[in-house]
Each structure stands twice: as C-alpha cells, then as structure tokens.
Chain A
Amino acid sequence: MKYILTTLAATLLSAIILNAQKPPKGFEKVDQEVMITTLRAQMKYSIRSFSVKPGAKVKLVFKNPDDLPHNLILCTPGKSKGKDKGQEVIDAVLKLGDKGVEMDWEPKGHPRILHSSGMVQPKKETIIWFQAPKKEGNYPYICTFPGHFQLMNGMMAVSKLANPVTNLSYKLYHGSWDKSPEFSQLEAKKSGVLANGLFDIAPRDRNDNFGFLFSGDIECPKDGKYTFTTASDDGSLLFINGKKVVNNDGIHGVQGRSGTVNLKAGKHSIEVHFFEKGGGEALAVAWSGPGFKTQALSKSKPGGGGGGASGIPIEPNEGEATIYRNFIADAGPRAIGVGYYDDVNLAFDANNLRLALIWQGDFMDGARHWNGRGQGYQPPAGDSVIKLPDGVAFATLNNADDVWPNAEYRTKDLRFRGYQLDKRQHPTFKYERDGISIEDTPAPVIGEELNHFKRTLKLSGKQAPENLYFRAATGNIAEQDGGFLIDDQLLITVKGAKASIQSGELRVPIEFKRGGAHLELTYAWTE
C-alpha cells in the first residue's frame, strides 16, 4: 500500500512538475537552462551531452519538432564508466509488452529513472524543472519509444567543473576587418546574454563581415596553470583579467591556438574577441587546468588543433574496440584508427608501419568522410593527442647514434600484411621487413594509476638482423622512474632490450635470441 501511495505521489508530483510551463516554487531563478530538441527524421537529440554543477537548479526545455512522439528520460549513472545508456530502463520498457502503449513506454517508478518528460507528441514541447544530483557522474538520457534509444540518447555530466563561465554576455558588431578590431571603439548592433555560459556565434544576423565581443567570469577550481584554446575562422583573441592569453588573430580557416596563464582559485574575468570577414565562420573555445583535461567552453570542442568535422561519432561496442580505416590527420592516408572501449585510442600508419597517434576520450567522428564525398584528413575526436615520430620505426644503423633515415611518404623497407582481431576486436598488426615478421599488439591498460597502452612487439625470422633499431620517440627526452619522459607528456618504458637516448631520440637495439626478439613497451600519459 505504501508502495502504491508513494508511486501515486511520485506520479502526481512529476505530473505537476512536468506540465508546469511556469516555474515551480524555488525555480523562479535557475542556475542553468538547457534546450534539447529532437532532430527531424534523424532519430537524434540536438544535444548529445551537457554538464551541470552538482545541486544546480536546471530548466530543461524539451521540444519535439519531429513527426514521431519522443520522450526524454534522465537516468541515474550506470555501472560501466559512463558508457551505459540506461540499459536497465530499456530492458524494463521491453518487458512492458502490450501495456507499453498505454504506459507511454515509460516503466514508471523504475529505480534508475530520475526525471521524465513524459511522451511529447509531434510539434509539442515541455519543460522539466529539476535540481541536479549532488553526486558527480555521468547521467544518461534516452528516448524510450521502442527502437529509438540506440540513436536517441545523450549524457548529462554532473561535475563541479560544469559551466565555469557565468555572467556571459555578447555584443555583435558589423564591419570588415583583416584583424581583430578595437571593439570598445565601435558601436554594437546588438547585445544579449548567453545563459548557458557557452561562447557561441549563433546570435549573429549575417554570415560575413561581423564580429563578437564576449565577456563573462570564469571560475577556477584551484590555484595552478591553465591553458586556454580557441579554434576559429577567422580570427579570435582571448583575454583573462584583461591580459591577452590566446592570439589567434588574422584571416584564416579554422585554426587552433593556445596560451597558458597562472590563476588563483576563484572567479576571473574572461573576454573573447572574434571576427569573420568572408567564407566559413566558426568559433570553439576550451580550457584545461590542474586536475582536469580539455573541457569545452563552447558547444563544440576545438578539434585536434584544426576543426574536425563532427556529427557522426564512432564508438566501440561495450567491452570491444572498433576500427576506422581512413584518412586520419597525422597518421596518413592509410591510417587504421582503433577506438578501445576504455576511452583510449590509437592510429596506426600502414604506409610507414608505425604507431602514429595515441589519444584519450572520444575516438573518431565519421562526419568528414561519411557526408558528401569525404575529402581530406580527419583529426581524432578526443583529447590528450600524442604524436609519435614520423617515418619508419625500424631502421638499420651502422652506429647507435647515426642519423635516423628521413621520413618518406611511404616506406619501401617494410610491407604491411594486415591484422588479426581477438574476441574483443583488439588488433595485432602484422608487417615484414627483410625476412623478419613483426607482430605488434597494443593493449589499453586502465587502472587506478595513469591510463596507458602496453605494446608488445614480437619479431621473428630465420636470420637475426644486424644493427636493427626501433625508434620509440623523438622530442625532449628525459630519463625518469625507470622510463623516459617525452616532452613532459608521455612516459615510455621498455622491457626486453636496453633502450637509450641516441642523437636525442629514444632508440631500442633489436637483438635476436632463439630466432626472435620480444619487446614490451608502455606508453603512459603523464596527466
């Protein structure tokens, strides 16, 4: 009886809250507004992820311009590290069976349901007012109409780092400039507030010859070094406390630029200047700081330094890796991207038979190659991208410190033989060099410590090679903790041979024992 009463009360309560287009008591002023619309005939939400601060009061407007009914059910975090999309709720919906229709495909009272929009009919909208959970984590939201959830889902991150920018306002200017003008000397055509705290050039009224001056406050969680990045077409500048930190000025296509500043915990003023002369226009802003990786301060994150296309994220199945063979920036035209389920990724260059990139977070976005004709190179979708040396990774040297052969577009020394996938779709790459077969198996290692890759290189052949070296890294290399620290961002360890710094490069001599050599390397991000 108590259960029924509770459910009834909950239903009534949710009905009251849900249907209220006017704010309920206590929500007259909210901390954050989010608007999510359905995309017509695409079975998708317009917003795939957003973040809120713990305990924040949120107004979520859910609009459905599609021709099908949709809902939006916000769930508690799943068990699997932010990949879960409310599976138990989906399972419960499937169990509704015939009753599904009358229940509006909502398993009411399910313990994982936090908030629901109810079924929103075509061309209708509703508002959900809620207080964000106190507990940080990833809270998935899904449409439970049968067949929709696979595509129609998103993630609400509850994080103390959410929306660091407050009091964000913009001024829009008209004019034709070759570099960022003194906006303070000009008269604004329009001004307004960006309540979501995201830098956005959407309020423009034209697509050429305009500029924006954005100003607001940014809250730093602790004392430390902060890096700001803008990626813009055309120019942009970023100021903290009136001091220029990012100079990305001038006429150019989408181009990323970063700058670093030491800041105390607390609020600081932030200004972004942006202008567009002709052609395409784009602005993305992001920051990173002590204890957190790159976080977007605009709807999209600045791509790997150069504006990757977005809209078709490629993700592995649960517990597996997924492959993407295509033109990948800094990995060549014959790249093989591997996105592991554990949010670490790599790209292998089959033209030069080398590990080309490793990165964290999102894997790749198919939008560049899967829309239109698919021209050009796509950068990784994630962050903490580390580039490994160009050119061949194996070479014969007379002396350990000889100059490494110049990088070619495609090596003739090695031949790609393919790869084998294990049960989790993790590849072992295979290639050959002068009668030597090489098996190259990278594997993600996820633990309490730093995420890293363990890479096993097995070489075998009838005849032992002479003076063969493997080049693991170039750059600024220092010995540290029994390994080698590369450019302060990557820690490499080598087992199975004596690695050393030669000619400023990390090299490993290959010596055969019993018909082969066996190297074990680790590649760990330092943050």
Chain B
Amino acid sequence: MKAIQATTALLILATSLAAQPTEADYYPITDIPLPEGETIEVSGIDILPGNKVAIASRRGDIWVADDAFSANAEKAPDWTLFARGLHEVIGIAWKDDWLYLTQRPEVSRIKDSDGDGRADIFETVGDGWGINGDYHEYAFGTRHDKEGNIWVVLCLTGSGGADDKSPFRGWCMRVTPDGQTVPTAYGIRSPGGIGLNHLGDVFYCDNQGLWNGSSSLKHLAKGSFQGNPTGNKYFALTDVLGAKPPEPKSGSRIETERKKVPALIPPPIVLPHGKMGNSPAGIECDETNGKFGPFSNQLFVSEQTHSKVHRVFLEKVNGYYQGAAFPFLKGFGSGNIVARFAKDGSMFTGGTNRGWGSHGKKPFSFQRVNWTGKVPFEIHEMHARHDGFELTFTHPADPASLTDTTKYLMEAYTYIYQKGYGSPVVDKSTPKITAAIPGKDGRSVRLVVEGLIKGHVHELHTPAIRQKGKDHPLLHPVAYYTLNEIPSK
C-alpha cells in the first residue's frame, strides 16, 4: 500500500512537472544554417528590402540571406557574400539603398552600384576617433536615430587605458549624416552593445570591470558621464561637452558620487554580475506592435557568456530612466552579441564565443526566435512607487496567491564604485514587504515596502504567485529593479 502511494505521488509529481510550461512553449529558437565552410561570428544584423537579412561578422564579412524567415536546420537560405575584409564590423543599418556599418576605425556606408550582388562603393562617413592596434578597441554602432545619426560607443584601450594615439576611447560619438563625428557622452569602459528604445533614446551595456562594480545597461544621455574616468583626458581635445568633470572618489558608491558630479548618471539597469549573466551585449527594442508577444517597447538584451536574452522594462522617474530586468530566454547556440527584430515579429540573434567563452558551445551561431502566439505568465512591468513597487502580469494571477507578504522574498544591495576590477555585492539589506494588495482581476499587485534604499538593486523573488485558473507559477519568478530614484507621493 505504501509503495502504491509512493508511486501515485511520483506520478502526480511527474504529471505536474510535465505540465509546467517552459520557455520553448512560447519562444522556440530555430537554427539558421550559415554558408558551409565559412566562419561567421555574427556581430551585426539588419533587415533589407525584400525581406532579405544582412549579417556582419567579426572577421569583417557581410552576408545576405534571401529568406531567413522560413529557414530552419533543414532548409538553408541562399547566402550571398556582399562584402569581405572589413575591420571587425559591429552594428549594421540599412538606409536609403546604403548599408551603413560601424568598423573599428570608422562608420562607413557601402553600396552595390552595378547590381551584381556585391558591394563596390565603400565610403567613409565619419572617423573622428583613433585605434592603436589593441583588440579591446572595439566600436559598437547603432542604427540611425531620428536625425539620421549613428551612435558609436568606443571601448577603452586594453579595457583600462586611453592613449594619445587613439583619441576618444571610452567615449560615445555621434556620426551625423553630413559626416561630422560629435563627442556625445563619456565615461565608458567596455561596451558589449548599443541600441535605441522606441523613443529614440540610446542605451548601451557596459561590462563589469574598472569603475563598474557589476555589468549594467546605461543611458547615453547627451553630455552624460557613465562612470569610468579613464577617457576623460580627451576633454583636452574637445569643448563641446564643457569642462572635464572632477574625478570621482574610488571606493565610494555611485549614489554618493552622483551628488558631487551631476553629469554622472547612474545605470538605469544593473544586471547583477553572475546572477543575470556575465557579459551583456546588444540592445534591441520590441517595436513589432505585438507580433512578438506582450512586451511592446521593452528592451531585449543579448548576454554573451550565458548565451541568453534578458528582458528589460524601463520607466522614467524624476527624469531618469530606471527599471527592472527579467530573465527571458536561454539556450542559444553561442555567445549572444546582437539581436534584431523583423516586422513580422521574428527576432534574429547572432553570437560568438571567440575570446570570451559562452555556455552555448558553438563557436558562432545565427538563430531566430519566434513567438508561438501563446502568452507566457510573466511579470509584465515592474514600477517603482513612493512606498514600494507595483507589478503587472501578462495574465491574471490568482488573487489568493498574491496577498501573503511572507511569500515574497526581497533583498537590496549595491556594488562598490571603484577603480579596481568589479566589486562584491555590498550593503545588503532585506526590505520588509508590509502589504501586498492585488489589483483588479489579479492583473497587478501593489507591494508596500519598508526599507527601500535609493541607488540599490532590489531583487524580488515571487515563487508563490500562480496564474489564475491554471495553477502555473510565473515562468520567471524573479525581477531585479534598480532604484536610483524613488517617486514622490
């Protein structure tokens, strides 16, 4: 009898486990075969007229797929080599019959003028920065903003240096349509990618290291200081951003230093190092009008080491962007570098693990994520409130699963702002959730929190929340909110 009970219990467990949805039920990942024999470490993706997809590689090639939308492991697209031998292209953008590319030393535009499928005109658009033979001198470029500019973030030399031979390392530059290179922001260490949100504001990811306690997603406001002062020596070369700001104090906190250095804007999203990932890269905004699911206008961040894509919700509080990061999708083939949405809601992703290892074991990959049409049960948005947070959900939650404050786990912490490499988690505390008030139809919950700390990541676990009528937990019952600003009442 006992044995039968045990078996029954196991059966029930197995059934309920089998019934738990997985990421692949909503967002399956499809491999897109690349041309045989080629090494294509995908570092840029854009959609061309006629539903063609162009990809750039770290080796400096540009390939164009005739149809990557129906392609799968069995059905390869026809690939055309559009250009070869460029200097480590990271970021491409199609505009007005030109393909714009960001190479290490310049933003260029290329064109096939004789219609043979291969580019023949290679024009330098803007090149107002320097390189010095160091692999770390990467340049990551956006697509065009509303004014037609391409924004470029420039990694420091050797990840921690700034040499007179290679000006503007650690800066963000805008390359204008008329070929000017305009210094735009500074204080950058080692970017992994850059992108625009639906309003045209520009963000980039900076990696844990000197003056970066954790990796984070940062807002490139014009004239802003992103925190690493190494490149500030180049204020000697330009006055468009005013005077060089005072040196921040090493061993402090960003929250403390930003009071002394107004240009220093705190990262809107800290991506806690080791928890979310180790190396955030490209940023892509979902502007597919619902064709990719319920996350319109949210940002999708490629994560190189963990071979993942994160989801980021941003709001503006007291004039500053901040918000929450959520796990979204894991299990990509290589180390994710870039993602690009097509109008039909396909998200193309590309990656490499050369030089920096990744959980996905392929040396490089080109893949596509499509929404199945089923909406996963997720935290849709997480807003800061004057006395806590408010979560909204993609499906109604069972109100009974929302009200027990002891079923929420919250921890707050930050990182040391220092010259040294990275930082341990410091200043840990456990803010107390004093009330959890379900909203109408279980679509949201207000958390009243005692002990919010300005400048700290607030990590929230919600294991008890269940989808109404389905008994499913949240697909990802965790959120990381970076509380740089607390809204007033």
Are B84 and A43 interface neighbours, CB within 8 A? Answer: no
Q: Which residues of A contact B108 (CB under 8 A)?
A: 418
Q: Which residues of A contact B87 (CB under 8 A)?
A: 325-326, 334
Q: Is A177 an interface residue (CB 8 A)?
A: no
| Residues of A358-373 contacting chain B, CB below 8 A | 366, 369-373
Which residue from A323, A376, A420 sits with its C-beta under 8 Å from B85? A323
**Mask of B111-146 contacts with A, CB within 8 angstroms, 1/0:** 000101011111110010011111111000000000
Are A418 and B60 interface neighbours, CB within 8 A? Answer: no
Q: Is B147 an interface residue (CB 8 A)?
A: no
B98 to chain A, nearest CB (A): 12
Closest to A339 in B: B85
Are B84 and A350 interface neighbours, CB within 8 A? Answer: no
Are B355 and A418 interface neighbours, CB within 8 A? Answer: no
Which residue from A147, A334, A420 sits with its C-beta under 8 Å from B120? A420
Q: Is B50 an interface residue (CB 8 A)?
A: no
Q: Which residues of B contact A350 (CB under 8 A)?
A: 105
Instruction: From A147, A151, A323, name the one whose CB has the most chain B CB atoms within 10 angstroms.
Output: A323
Closest to B105 in A: A334
Q: Which residues of B contact A376 (CB under 8 A)?
A: 133-135
Are B135 and A325 interface neighbours, CB within 8 A? Answer: no
Are B59 and A366 interface neighbours, CB within 8 A? Answer: yes
Are A325 and B127 interface neighbours, CB within 8 A? Answer: no
Q: Is A333 an interface residue (CB 8 A)?
A: yes
Q: Which residues of B contact A423 (CB under 8 A)?
A: 114, 116
Q: Which residues of A contact B118 (CB under 8 A)?
A: 421, 425
Are B124 and A373 interface neighbours, CB within 8 A? Answer: no
Q: Given that A333-B131, A333-B132, A372-B354 are contacting pairs, would A418 and B122 also be in contact in the complex, using a CB cutoff of 8 Å?
A: yes
Q: Which residues of B contact A323 (CB under 8 A)?
A: 84-86
Instruction: State which size class the interface on B falls in.
Output: 35 or more
Q: Which of A111-119, A132-140, A409-417 contacts B (4 or more CB under 8 A)?
A: A409-417
Instruction: State which size class the interface on A falls in.
Output: 35 or more
Are A373 and B355 interface neighbours, CB within 8 A? Answer: yes
Q: Which residues of A contact B114 (CB under 8 A)?
A: 423
Which residue from B59, B84, B127, B133 sits with its C-beta under 8 Å from A333? B133
Are B122 and A373 interface neighbours, CB within 8 A? Answer: no
Instruction: Provide the main secondary structure of the chain B interface.
Output: loop
Q: Is B289 an interface residue (CB 8 A)?
A: no
Q: Is B319 an interface residue (CB 8 A)?
A: no
Question: In whole angstroms, what is the CA distance A371 to B121 when docked?
Answer: 29
**Mask of A58-69 contacts with B, CB within 8 angstroms, 1/0:** 000000000000
Question: In whole angstroms, what is the CA distance A4 to B77 when docked?
Answer: 44
Are A375 and B85 interface neighbours, CB within 8 A? Answer: no
Are A325 and B59 interface neighbours, CB within 8 A? Answer: no
Closest to B134 in A: A375
| Residues of A500-527 contacting chain B, CB below 8 A | none
A328 to chain B, nearest CB (A): 9
Question: In whole angstroms, what is the CA distance A425 to B86 when docked?
Answer: 13
Q: Is B238 an interface residue (CB 8 A)?
A: no
Are A417 and B120 interface neighbours, CB within 8 A? Answer: no
B10 to chain A, nearest CB (A): 41
Q: Is A130 an interface residue (CB 8 A)?
A: no
Are A375 and B127 interface neighbours, CB within 8 A? Answer: no
A58 to chain B, nearest CB (A): 30
Q: Is A292 an interface residue (CB 8 A)?
A: no
Q: Which residues of A contact B135 (CB under 8 A)?
A: 369, 373-376
Q: Is A322 an interface residue (CB 8 A)?
A: yes
| Residues of A414-446 contacting chain B, CB below 8 A | 416-423, 425
Are B37 and A325 interface neighbours, CB within 8 A? Answer: no
Q: Which residues of B contact A373 (CB under 8 A)?
A: 135-136, 354-356
A142 to chain B, nearest CB (A): 14
Are B131 and A334 interface neighbours, CB within 8 A? Answer: yes
Q: Which residues of B contact A366 (CB under 8 A)?
A: 59
B152 to chain A, nearest CB (A): 15
| Top-5 shortest CB links A-B | A323-B85, A373-B355, A325-B87, A418-B123, A373-B135
Interface CB pairs A-B, < 8 A, 5:
A333-B105, A333-B166, A370-B354, A373-B355, A410-B165
Give A residues with C-beta under 8 Å from B.
43, 147, 150-151, 314, 322-327, 333-334, 337, 350, 366, 369-377, 409-410, 416-423, 425
Seed contacts A326-B87, A372-B355; 14 additional CB < 8 Å A-B pairs: A325-B60, A325-B85, A326-B88, A327-B133, A333-B104, A366-B59, A369-B135, A370-B58, A372-B354, A373-B136, A374-B355, A376-B134, A420-B120, A423-B116
